[in-house]
Amino acid sequence: MHRRRGFKGIGYHYYIRKDGTVHLTRPIERIGAHARGWNSNSIGICYEGGLDCGGRPADTRTPEQRTSLRLLVGQLLTQFPGSRVCGHRDLSPDLNRNGEVEPEEWIKACPCFDVQAEFGTPSTT
CATH number of the domain encompassing residue 74? 3.40.80.10
Distance of alpha carbon 44 from alpha carbon 28, whole angstroms: 9
Rounded average pLDDT over 5-34: 88
Q: What is the pLDDT of residue 123?
A: 41
Burial class (CB in 10 A: 0-12, 13-18, 19+), 109: middle
Domain assignment present for 6: no
| pLDDT tops 60 at residue 1 | no
Distance of alpha carbon 37 from alpha carbon 69, whole angstroms: 23
Distance of alpha carbon 121 from alpha carbon 17, whole angstroms: 24
Rounded average pLDDT over 94-107: 75
Q: What is the pLDDT of residue 62?
A: 97
Domain assignment present for 79: yes
Task: Produce one character per residue of 59-73: b if its CB has 16 or more CB atoms within 10 Å, e if not.
Answer: bbbbeebbebbeebb
Burial class (CB in 10 A: 0-12, 13-18, 19+), 55: exposed
Radius of gyration of the chain from its Cα atoms, rounded to whole angstroms: 14
Query: Which range of residues forms the domain containing residue 48?
Result: 14-119
Domain assignment present for 8: no
Q: Which residue has the higher pLDDT, 93 or 85?
A: 85
Rounded average pLDDT over 73-93: 89
Q: What is the pLDDT of residue 124?
A: 40
Domain assignment present for 2: no
pLDDT tens, residue by residue, 41-62: 999 999 999 999 999 889 999 9
Domain assignment present for 37: yes
The H-assigned helical ranges of the chain are 63-79, 115-119
Q: What is the pLDDT of residue 4?
A: 61
Per-residue confidence at 105, pLDDT binned at 50, 70, 90?
low
| pLDDT tops 50 at residue 32 | yes
Domain assignment present for 102: yes
Taking the CA of residue 110 as centre, how many other CA atoms within 13 Å lie in the half-sphere pointing to its CB? 12
Domain assignment present for 68: yes
Domain assignment present for 29: yes
- Structural domain count, the chain: 1
